[in-house]
Structures are given as structure tokens and as C-alpha cells.
Structure 1
Amino acid sequence: MSEKLKIGISIGDVNGIGLEVIIKTLADSRIFDYCTPIVYGHTKVASFYRRTCNIHDLNFNIITHPSEASPKKANIIHCWEEDVRIEPGIANETGGKYAFLSLEHATNDLVAGEIDALVTAPINKDNIQNENFSFPGHTEYLQQRNGAPEVLMFLVSDTLRVGVVTGHIPVAQVAESISPDKILAKLKLMDASLKQDFWIRKPKIAVLGLNPHAGDNGLIGNEEKDIIIPAIEEARANDLLAFGPYPADGFFANGAYMKFDAVLAMYHDQGLIPFKQISFESGVNFTAGLSFVRTSPDHGTAYDIAGKNKASEVSFREALFSAIHIVKNRRESISLAENTLPFSKFSRDRD
């Protein structure tokens, strides 16, 4: 039996639901059959949320380096030593400070290859800002740390996969931020990820329009004719199975998304609102295009229920298992390539 993967876990905002969903996930000892989890935080903060969750039989193994991790326990690396005042449900400087310390330490180990993947609990994108973190979110920070030229915010579940051309930017900037080259780059990333990370041999990708009714042939905007359709045509010339553009409302309402392996939306809410409506509890946020694997639950800090033992761990658990699945798929793909076995020989679609 091969060695279990070491999965790093950053705790997110200490005043949010991050540690609650982490603890509820790791309280199921069956997790240790699939991976060796390593939490980046501090036992005192974890103990606070363990009590609020009424979970008393989960003990953290304190380590200083991933190489010391026990494969049969929940491991934790201390990222600070001082006491932290925890105020569940409060968005403050404390929450952002320790969210960053956890993320930075975990990312350092991820970049160094000391852990096999990273699962990030939710941060507050405002209070985490500091001289070392000036990014709209996890995605952009990890892209910079990885040195990746392009990444794709990719929301995935058993029933739907949605990526976005533009990420955390104001809606007023969306139209000026899309171009044929940018859309084509995202389509190429999505196609490559579907093949390598999800083992779908010939992915079919639906592309959404930007305007209502996908522009109605220019009646409600020209972005479809001038930008999106040329990108789709170029993608097809590059042997990508891209189709569209489709009006977003009807596309999701009539279930057309079920005919495709993934959907490329033009902007954040266009893709994430239907995704969260369809796959909220089981959805996972995956950053495609990085040389390492990072996933997260598809929800935020949920301050309104923080510290009340009301948070569901389902999405976080799915994010953990997705990270394991993707790492293994990538490694198997590399192994097949190194043995010169053509990918086309494998007829199965492994999701």
C-alpha cells in the first residue's frame, strides 16, 4: 500500500466557521484511512472550537514539521505562540492576522513539497489584507506564490463544474476585462484540468454569454459577436470541444448544463450563483492551473453562525477528498505518460 498523502489545512478566519468544519471533518476517524491531515494553526484555538462542537475525543498531535506527522492522527503545526482572543462572528484584525499566518505557513510547506495538497478554510478577504497579502483572495495569492501565468477558479461537484473568466473584480470592470485571448486561455486551462485532474478524455465545455439572451445578435450588446464567439471558434480550431455562447438564465433553468462536462462563465456571480444553488453543500472550489493542488469549501466565513455549532462540514469534507482525488489522478497521469502509454487508450471517464 502506498504512503498516504499529507494534506495541509489552513484554518481561515479564527472567528469564522473554519475550525468548526475542520474539527467536524477530522472527528470521523475514517478520514485517516485516506490521508494524513496536517492543520496549520494552534491547539488552543482548536480546543476552543472543539468545545463549542462538543467533540471531546479528537486529540491533535503537535508537530513542528510535516515529516513528523502521524498517519493515524489529526496533526497540527503551531504557527504562532501567543494567546489569541477568539470572538466568534466578529470580523476584526485578529481574524485576518491569524488566518494569514496559517495560510503563509501552509503555503510555504506546499511550495517546498513538504505536503501533497492544501485545503483552505474560508478567509475574510478584507481583514486579511496586510503588507504580505494584497490580493482579492486565496486564488490570486496562490497564483503569485506558484508563479503560474494563468489560473482558473473552478467550482466542482458531482453534478456541475463551473469556471469563471474573471474572478474577484467589480462587475463594472467585467466587460472591459474579457477578451478572445483571455477566454481562450481559460478554455485551454479548463480542458487540460478536466483531462488531467478529472480524467475526462474528451471534455465538452459550454460557454456562457455576457449579456442577457447572449446579446440577441447584437441587440443587447456586442461582446458575444466581437469577443466570445471568436474565442469559441479559436478554441474549436485548437481541437477543444467548446460550445455557445448560451444565455445564462435559461441554460441553468432548463438543465442544459447536464449535457456538458463543465461550464465557463464570464464573471463571478454568473457562475457561482447557480453553482451554489445546485451544489451548495457538496461544492468545492478548486484552483486549476497551479503546479500543486489547492481546494476549499464553496462557502465563506459564515460569521452569523460561527461558534454556534451549526455549520455543516459537508463541503469541507468534499474539498478534502477532492484534493486527494486530484493529486492521485495527476500522479497516475504522469506515470502513464512516463511509461509512454497513450492517454486515448483509456476509455473510462473518471469523475
Structure 2
Amino acid sequence: MENKYKAKLGISIGDTNGIGPEVIVKTLSDNRILNYCTPVIYASAALINKVRKILQAEHFHFQQVASAEALVPRKINVVNCWEEDIALEPGNPTPVSGKASLESLMAASKDLKAGLLDGLVTAPIDKDNIQSEEFNFPGHTEFLTSYFDAADSLMLLVSEDLRVATVTGHISIAEVPGKLTYDLLIRKLTILLESLKLDFGILKPRVAVLGLNPHAGEKGLLGSEEIEIIRPAVMHLKERGHLVFGPYPADGFFGMGLYKKVDAVVSMYHDQGLIPFKTLAMETGVNFTAGLSVVRTSPDHGTAYDIANKHIADETSFREALFLACDIIKKRTAEQIHAV
């Protein structure tokens, strides 16, 4: 069924020498997408034309516009973020591709902040190649949290049957124990519970919390974080009526399929959550930044330089990111109308 409201979705191009441009063009080559949203690609018409020709995407057509204020409904719109004709060097991160990814992201974020867009879908950046005076962040999540003046945010990986959040994000394993505190865990769990209600329509979400240490610390034998930090945070939220459980040993929790019995799982660090998530939902997974005033999603993969320009990149995750953004925008809009 065709949606009545067509969300205006900004799309940042990501690193131009990765697979971002390819999965964007592949996704938008299916014109049925226009029944759900008005896509706005932030790049340049010349670059998009190059990618279209390389992919021989004969069903992909776009409208070049001067700005997001001049969007053409029921068309793929392209906003020029640079005038020069940049070279494509698939598989090789270059200063040019890093600069282009930053200019695209900044332009899309600016328009989103100005209310010209309803949401943002970000193609993968090279976290090292994009670094500059304007971008001194470990990744999209941290940049957008700062740019949109959020007190905090939460990386939430989403698929049809699984949602996994991470308490700590893009930091080294060595830093995790020092960063993990009771207050941080309460803050992240609160963001998750609110997002599950607002963005996913789950009135009474069930959340499982993983331990930090092997076997969830084995009653303190293998670590004290579960006793001193994680369990007290879980009990605090339980006492306030939330369905929060744990801490669970991470390996057994996923090995026994217990994730199927809850609405979301909270991991203590990046790989603890993302390894099982990507094992179970690599092609369909979406990265959603919970806790922001705006809607931002992305595919759950990186630049994949090794397969860039080989025409084999799977666009499923990017397509799912686009659809999830549309769904969340629709839910938030309905909630705002209901509140009035």
C-alpha cells in the first residue's frame, strides 16, 4: 500500500571510493521507493551520472536541484555539494574521497537541522579518511550527537527479529571497563526504553542486558562489574516498572537463542553486540542512532573497499535503512499529532 506521506530523506554519499554510491544507486533504481519517500542525495550530478553509467542503471533517473528547498516530489533529487568533477578511484581512500564524504555529510546535516529534511540515511564513511578540523569524531554517531546537541545517544542495530544496543561505542577494548559506570548504563537503558516506545511502537518493551565479563563475571570470580554496576542498574529500572533483565553471559544468551524472547539486547561494548548481530543479520541489518531529535539510519556495513566497483555490493542493508527511517518518521509524526 502506498504511504500518504512521503518523507524527505537526505542521503549522504559516504566515501566516494567505497560501495556507498553503488548501493545508493542500486536501491533507488527501483522506482517503487518513491511511493515511500522523496530521496535527496547529497553529492554532485556528475558523480551520480558516473556511477549510473558504470552500473548501467537504465532505470535510475534523478532531478538536479539547487537546494533542499527546491525538492521535486516523486523524483530522486541530487543536491550538488561541490562543483569540481572529482575522480573515482574505487577501493582506494584518497584525500578527495574523504573531503567529498565530509562535504556531503555536513550539507545533509545542515538541511536536516534546518527542517528541510525529515531524516537522514548515511552511506559508509572511512572513519580515518574523513578526519579534519570539522570532523574529529570516531564515527557518524558521535558527530551527529554533537551536531544535534543531544545530551547522549545510543547505537542501536536493528533487523526484523533482533535489536542490539551498545553501551560503549567506538572506543578500544582497553577503555571499556573504565568507561562503564552505573550512571552511563542507566542513561543508555533509558534512551533505549524511550526509543522502543516512540520509534518502534512497543508499549512495554522487554530488554535483556548482557554482562561485561565471561560468564557474566561468575559471581565476582571473573570480574566485579556485574555485581557493582550492571545488576544494580537493572534492579533500579525493574523497581520502576520496566521489564529489564540480566546480566546474562553473552555467549550463552545468543547461543541459546534467548534474544528471540526480548525486544532488545544491550551489550557492554561494540563487538560484543555487533559480532552476533552481523552473524545473524548482516545483509538486512540497520544502524539507528537512538536518542536524537532527528531520525538517522545507515546500513550496518562499512566502505567495503575490497569489492568497490566490482558490481557485487549487496544493497539490501541500505534499502532496509531507508525503509526503517521512513517507518520511524511516520511513527514520530503520528505521535506528535496524537500529542496535539
- Once the two structures are superposed, residues 23-52 of structure 1 have per-residue CA deviations (whole angstroms, 9 ceiling, x without a partner) of 001100000111100000011111222122
Contact 1:61-1:76 within 8 A present in 2 as well: yes
Q: Is the 8 A contact 2:5 2:36 kept in 1?
A: no
- Equivalent residue in structure 2 for 1:75, among 74, 77, 93: 77
Q: Following the alignment from structure 2 to structure 1, what is the Cα–Cα distance between the partners of residues 225 and 54?
A: 51
Task: Determine the structure 2 residue equivalent to 1:49.
Answer: 51
Aligned to 2:209: 207
SS of equivalent to 2:107: helix
- CA distance in 2 between counterparts of 1:44 and 1:83 reads 7
* Separation in 2, partners of 1:275, 1:3: 31
Query: Please, which of 215, 218, 221 is the counterpart of residue 220 of structure 2?
Result: 218
Q: Which residue of 2 aligns with 1:59?
A: 61
Q: Please give the alpha-carbon distance, in whole angstroms, between the structure 1 residues aligned to 2:291 and 2:206.
A: 18
Per-residue deviation, residues 119-177 of structure 1 (Å, max 9, x unmatched): 00000000100000000000011001110001000000101000000000000000110
Q: In the alignment, residue 44 of structure 1 is paired with which amino acid? A: A
Does the alignment pair 1:330 with 2:332? yes
TM-score (ref. length: structure 2): 0.98
Instruction: Please state if 1:262 is matched with 2:236.
Output: no
After superposition, give the CA deviation of every residue in 1:233-279 in whole Å (9 maximum; x if it has no partner). 11112222110000111111110000000000000000000000101
Q: CA deviation at 1:91?
A: 1.6
Structure 2: how far apart are the matches of 1:48 and 1:78? 14
On the 8 A contact 1:157/1:282 being kept in 2, the answer is: yes
Q: d(CA) in 2 for partners of 1:3 and 1:158?
A: 23
Check the 8 A contact 1:52/1:308 in 2, yes or no: no
Q: 1:165 aligns with which of 164, 167, 176?
A: 167
The letter for the 1-side match of 2:74 is: K
Contact 2:30 2:59 in 1 (8 A): no
CA contact (8 A) 1:11 1:18 kept: yes
**How many residues get paired?**
338
* Bigger mean CA deviation after superposition, 119-128 or 228-237: 228-237
Question: Which 5+ residue runs of structure 2 have no aligned equivalent?
Answer: none
Which residue pairs with 1:37 in the alignment?
A: 39
Structure 1: tracts of 5 or more residues without a match = 339-351
Amino acid at match of 1:325: D
Residue-by-residue CA offset, 1:172-231 (whole Å, 9 max, x unaligned): 000110011100111110000000000001000000000000000001010100111111
Name the structure 1 match of 2:314. Answer: 312
Q: 1:79, 1:101 within 8 Å by CA — same for their partners in 2? A: yes
Among 284, 301, 304, the alignment partner of 2:303 is 301
Q: How far apart in 2 are the matches of 1:112 and 1:239? A: 38
- For residue 2 of structure 1, report the CA deviation from its aligned partner: 4.3
Give how far 1:10 is off: 0.2
How far apart, CA to CA, are the structure 2 residues paired with 1:291 and 1:179? 25
**Greater mean deviation of Cα atoms: 212-221 or 45-54:** 45-54
Does 7-16 or 64-73 show the bigger shift?
64-73
Q: Which whole-Å CA distance do the structure 2 matches of 1:126 and 1:45 have between them?
A: 22
Superposition pairs of residues 231-250 of structure 1, within 5 angstroms: 231-250=233-252
Range that drifts further, 50-59 or 8-17: 50-59
Give the aligned partner of residue 273 of structure 2: 271
Task: Write out aligned runs for 1:173-184 (5 A).
Answer: 173-184=175-186
* Mapping of residues 67-216 of structure 1, within 5 Å: 67-216=69-218
Q: How many percent of aligned residue pairs carry the same amino acid?
A: 54
Q: Distance in 2 between matches of 1:318 and 1:67?
A: 26
Runs of 4+, deviation exceeding 3 Å:
none
Return the alpha-carbon distance in structure 2 between the equivalents of residues 109 and 233 of structure 1.
42
Equivalent AA in structure 1 for residue 239 of structure 2: A
> Does 1:286 pair with 2:288?
yes
CA displacement at 1:57 relative to structure 2: 3.0
Q: TM-score, normalization: structure 1? A: 0.95
Structure 2 residue aligned with 1:346: none
2:200 alignment partner, SS class: coil
SS at match of 2:155: strand
Give the Cα–Cα distance (whole angstroms) in 2 for the partners of residues 58 and 186 of structure 1: 40
SS in 2 for 1:52: helix
